[in-house]
Amino acid sequence: MRVSISNKCIGCGACSTISPEVFEIYRNSAVADADKICGNEESCIDAALNCPVNAIKIDEY
């Protein structure tokens, strides 16, 4: 799974609350730690579904 965050992100922090292992807020924007996605897929999807501006893109492969 790959997680990417678009520049629509408003830094609200919802993703880092839902999936703190993967997401953190850096300079008012979310960043995802690619190395932590494995094992946290469900919370990543949850974060994407709850992003208010639809900035989190999930690619399954």
CA neighbours closer than 13 Å in the CB half-sphere of residue 61: 5
Least distance CB 47 / ligand SF4 (angstroms):
6
Q: How far apart are CA 52 and CA 35, in angstroms?
A: 25
10 belongs to the binding site for ligand SF4 (CB under 6 A): yes
Least distance CB 38 / ligand SF4 (angstroms):
20
56 belongs to the binding site for ligand SF4 (CB under 6 A): yes
32 belongs to the binding site for ligand SF4 (CB under 6 A): no
